[in-house]
Every structure is written in structure tokens, then in C-alpha cells.
Amino acid sequence: MTQLRNASQVGRLGFLSEQNKRDIYLAALEVLANVGMRVYHEEAKTLLLEAGCTLTPQDRVLMPRHLVEQARLCVPSVVNLYDRDGTLALELGGYNSYFGPGSDLMSTYDLETGAHRPSTLKDVARAARLCDALPHLDFIMSSAHPTDQDPHLSYLLSFAEMMQNTRKPLVMTAENERDLSVMIQIARELRGGAEALRQKPYLVVYNEPISPLEHPEESLSKLLLCADTGVPSIYSPAPLAGATAPITVAGHTTQGVAESLFGLVVHQLRKPGAPFLFGIGPAVLDLVTAQSSYNAVEYLMTYMCAVEMAKWLDIPNWGYAGTSDSQLLDAQAGMEATQITFLAMQAGSNLSHDVGYLDFGLTGSLEEIVLVDEFISMNRRLLAGIEVNRDTLALEAIAEAGPGGQYMTSEHTYRYMRAVQWRPTILNRHGRERWLADGGLDLAARARQKALDLLATHQVPALPADLAVKTDELIGAFAAAGA
């Protein structure tokens, strides 16, 4: 059994009682059994109907409780991800929490000029290399969406860039099962075969149903392909409270739980025991400005409920961190990005993405990624908790110092200081004179400087030449077939 690290002594902010969780689960089961969902994928529909679901005259699939319970018995509680080299990197489950950037941002704040401009394939590569260098970003998503490429090749080309520019595991979006199957083929080449990739997953696929209660053809095709190939799949809806989901936190959570569990059942019916991530993208439609907020306080509440439900169901979860609705990297961005990240960390949200999002998921900032990396670093220290034992109680050191003494030269200080004192890399701890001498920069400017420095120096070992050739071939063949 995988041993999960667990900051168990640290108290967690809980929103749901045991009874609340049961009630939400039962309400979700009721939605599945009595309201039903629409399924736009014939094979998946047949799979469900043969397993005991029924079809209403309005073409809704009703799912009985026992199918959900059966899927829960089959689905793994821990999903392991391996890096490009095949080394175990992430153990998703329990209270382990890992972080990564988001995907598909259409615009980017240019690191060099500060200009707000359309994202390009180069941005995907740069984000991957920067995140490779940052120790507290654990997995990689595309961050940018390459608007300078053939749209139908965009996900595949991003995948190739990401593979070249980071060793960390990847989470991918894909247009449909066709480009996804090419990604999987390339990953198999990397690992040395289908079975090797199944044993050591390198990528996770982000699939989404459509709220309310619809499961499109593309999402289910990708979900089934993941089940077949052993590539871990996320199945997380983005119900927008007030627009495509109930406005109340409990109702929002209930619908999201039902939608994600529906995918779980399809996935486990296809391949019992295949790796799956539960999740809810608890978006909130601001009913005054009509923007889809990633940081509304109700968003954070539904998010925390989703994580608590994942723990209760004992299924690894997909989550969110490091986002801001602000238009630029300002004090609002600092406030919002850190609040959601801290909540994710303390809740033990397993795989949290979207670090570096601004502008409701439309604009990316590498500086924000650097900032959040620092914040995660600091709070990993905080949530590791406090060790209380004879030595840390420091009775001897206190006696030694005595009244009027000091600890600067104490053996105890010397032994512990590097382990106890967390060091910032960009937060300022200099006095006014030194800060002015260093240029009098604010935090955003220092984050920018750090990003520039890392991008100038950080190298990722090249992929084996034959793999690079093979990748180009596979993408070339896909492009040719499409045209």
C-alpha cells in the first residue's frame, strides 16, 4: 500500500458535518436515479443500459444507486503519477496536495514587455520550463492556448512542447479522442509500450461533462479511451451557480457530485479499477457582471465541499488553486490567489490546477505562477505542523540560556535553524536601506525578475533524439489525416 504523507495534526476548516455529507450524497443519488442525465454517446449509453440504467421517454438515463456503490468499490483510492523519466512523482489520494498551472489561456501578459497579447505555442513551452524550475509546482498543464497554430493541432502541439520542456507529469486537455489517442501513442513511445504506460502513468486527461446533467460525445469518448488505456481521467463538471447549477452551495455541490459520479460509473463499468479523479469546478456566475468567477466566496465554499465529499467518497480529487479574477497582477490578485491556494492546501485537495490564471480564466501571468510557488512553499512549511518532543520543547536550551541569556550561539539554535526557519525567495525581508539599494522593487517586479532569471538559466534535459523524431512523425501523420 502506498504510504501517504499526512499533516494530520493540523486542524482543517470543515464546512460539512458527517450528516451533511450523507445528505449531499443521497441527494446526488436521487438526481441520478430520478432526474436522470442526457448521454450523447451511443456506446456509453448501451453500456449503462446493459448495466441496469433505464431510459425515459425524454431520453434521460436514470441510474440506480447500486451502480454508483459498485463503482465506488472498484475505483482506486490512490492514483500514482510518474514523471518523464519514470520516477514516482505524485501520489494522489489522502490529504496529499499537489499544484500546477491551468490550461488554454487565450491571452498572456508578456513577461518581457508587460503587454497583454494573444498566447502562442512559445508561451506553452516557456510556462512548462518555468514550472519545471519551480520546486512547488508539481505537475504541468499547457497554461497558454497557442492561438498561432492550426486550432485542431493546438492540443497536440502543446503536448509535444510540454514533453520537451519539463520532466514533471502532465495534465492534458484534448479536442476529442482522435488527438488524445495520438498523445497516448507518444506517451507509450516514451515509456516503451502500452503496458509500461499503464503501469506508470505520465499524463492525466481533463474531461468535463456539461452542466446541467449532460454528457457530450467528445467527453465520453475521451473518458472511455482513458479507461481502456489506463490513463488516469478527471471527470469534473463546471456547473455555474446561478446559470447552469443551483445558486445555493448545497445544491451546487449536489449537482456537481451527481455529474462527476455519473462519469465515474461509466468509467468503472468500462474498466473496473481504472484510475479516476473526482471533481467539481464550482464556478459562480456573477449575476450582476455576468462573469464566470473563479474566486467568488461561494465558489470557495462549494470547492471546499467538493474536496470534503471526495475524502468522504475516498476518491482522489481534482481541484483549483492560484487563480484570480483580477485583470492584472495587483493586490486583488495577491489576495485571491493566495486565499484559494491556502484553502486547497489545508483541505488536502489532491491535484489543484489553474495557478497563474487571471481575468476569469482568460489571461495568464508567469509572475503569478512564481508568486504562488513561493506561497505554496511557505505554507507547505506551515501545514507540515509542529513537532512537539523533548528536544523541540528545548528545556535544556532554556536552562542553558537562563534569565538574561541569549540563543544566538546556542547549540540548539544551530542545530534547528535551517530546518525551522523557512526562507523566502521573493518576499521582502530587507530593511528600507537595503530594499532601496536593491532597486526598491515591489513583489510583482521581483517575481518577474525571478521568472526571467529562471528562464535564462534553467535547462531541461533533451528528449532522446529518436523519440523527438517519432513524436514529429505521429503529429505529422495526424495533421495529414485531418487535412
Please give the Cα distance from 277 to 120 (Å, whole number): 29
Residue 204 or 285: which CB sits closer to other proteins? Answer: 285
At closest approach, how far in Å is the CB of 475 from other proteins?
16
The one of other proteins, ligand B1M, none whose footprint includes residue 287, by CB under 5 to 8 A per kind, is: other proteins
At closest approach, how far in Å is the CB of 236 from ligand B1M?
8
Q: Are 471 and 189 in contact (CB under 8 A)?
A: yes
Return the residues of window 196-235 that contact other proteins according to CB under 8 A.
210, 216
Residue 131 or 426: which CB sits closer to ligand B1M? Answer: 131
Residue 167 or 178: which CB sits closer to other proteins? Answer: 178
Please give the Cα distance from 117 to 233 (Å, whole number): 32
Residue 169 or 282: which CB sits closer to ligand B1M? Answer: 282
Q: Please choose, from the candidates 159, 274, 279, the residue with its C-alpha nearest in 3D space to the C-alpha of residue 209.
A: 279
The one of ligand B1M, other proteins, none whose footprint includes residue 259, by CB under 5 to 8 A per kind, is: none
Cα within 13 Å of Cα(390), Cβ side? 1
Q: Helix, strand, coil: what percent of the chain each, to 5?
A: 50, 15, 35
Please give the Cα distance from 78 to 76 (Å, whole number): 5
Residue 84 or 145: which CB sits closer to other proteins? Answer: 145
Residue 287 or 427: which CB sits closer to ligand B1M? Answer: 287
Q: Are 268 and 223 in contact (CB under 8 A)?
A: no
Q: Please choose, from the candidates 418, 419, 400, the residue with its C-alpha nearest in 3D space to the C-alpha of residue 409.
A: 400
Q: Does 248 bind other proteins (CB under 8 A)?
A: no
Residue 218 or 373: which CB sits closer to ligand B1M? Answer: 218
The one of ligand B1M, other proteins, none whose footprint includes residue 206, by CB under 5 to 8 A per kind, is: ligand B1M
Cα within 13 Å of Cα(115), Cβ side? 5
Residue 175 or 298: which CB sits closer to other proteins? Answer: 175
Among 77, 120, 244, 377, which residue interacts with other proteins (rule: CB under 8 A)?
Answer: 244
At closest approach, how far in Å is the CB of 341 from ligand B1M?
18
Q: Which stretch binds other proteins (CB under 8 A): 73-81, 187-195, 236-244, 460-468?
A: 236-244
Grid cell 523566502 — which residue?
Answer: 424
Residue count of the chain, please give it: 483
Please give the Cα distance from 427 to 134 (Å, whole number): 15
At closest approach, how far in Å is the CB of 157 from ligand B1M?
13
Q: Does 381 bind other proteins (CB under 8 A)?
A: no
Q: Does 251 bind other proteins (CB under 8 A)?
A: no
Residue 237 or 275: which CB sits closer to ligand B1M? Answer: 237
Site string for other proteins, 156-175 (x = CB under 8 A): -------------------x
Q: Please choose, from the candidates 262, 279, 172, 189, the residue with its C-alpha nearest in 3D space to the C-alpha of residue 226.
A: 172
The values of phi and psi at residue 350, to 5°, are: -70, -50
At closest approach, how far in Å is the CB of 148 from ligand B1M?
12
Site string for other proteins, 288-327 (x = CB under 8 A): xxx-x-----------------------------------
Please give the Cα distance from 402 to 384 (Å, whole number): 30
The one of other proteins, ligand B1M, none whose footprint includes residue 105, by CB under 5 to 8 A per kind, is: ligand B1M
Q: Does 116 bind other proteins (CB under 8 A)?
A: no
Please give the Cα distance from 145 to 104 (Å, whole number): 4
Residue 76 or 251: which CB sits closer to other proteins? Answer: 251
State the residues that interact with ligand B1M by CB under 6 A. 103-106, 145, 173, 206, 208, 210, 238, 240, 244, 283, 285, 290, 292, 360-362
Helices 249-270 & 297-313 angle (0-180, nearest 10): 40
- How many whole angstroms from its chain centre is CA 94? 15
Max alpha carbon distance in the chain (Å)? 84
Counting DSSP H helices and E strands in the chain, the numbers are 18, 19
Apex 231 CA angle, 227 and 234, nearest 5: 80
At closest approach, how far in Å is the CB of 56 from ligand B1M?
22
The one of ligand B1M, other proteins, none whose footprint includes residue 173, by CB under 5 to 8 A per kind, is: ligand B1M
Residue 108 or 349: which CB sits closer to ligand B1M? Answer: 108
Q: Are 128 and 166 in contact (CB under 8 A)?
A: yes
Kindly state the DSSP code that residue 32 receives in the 8-state scheme.
I
Instruction: Count the residues of the shown chain that bind other proteins, applying the rule CB under 8 A.
Output: 20
Q: Are 353 and 341 in contact (CB under 8 A)?
A: no
Q: Does 362 bind other proteins (CB under 8 A)?
A: yes
Q: Does 154 bind other proteins (CB under 8 A)?
A: yes
What is the residue-wise DSSP string for 299-351?
HHHHHHHHHHHHHHHT--EEEE-SB--SSSSSHHHHHHHHHHHHHHHHHT-SE
Question: 370: which 3 cell numbers?
Answer: 512564481
Residues within the interface to other proteins (CB under 8 A)? 106, 145, 147, 151-152, 154, 175, 210, 216, 240, 242-244, 285, 287-290, 292, 362
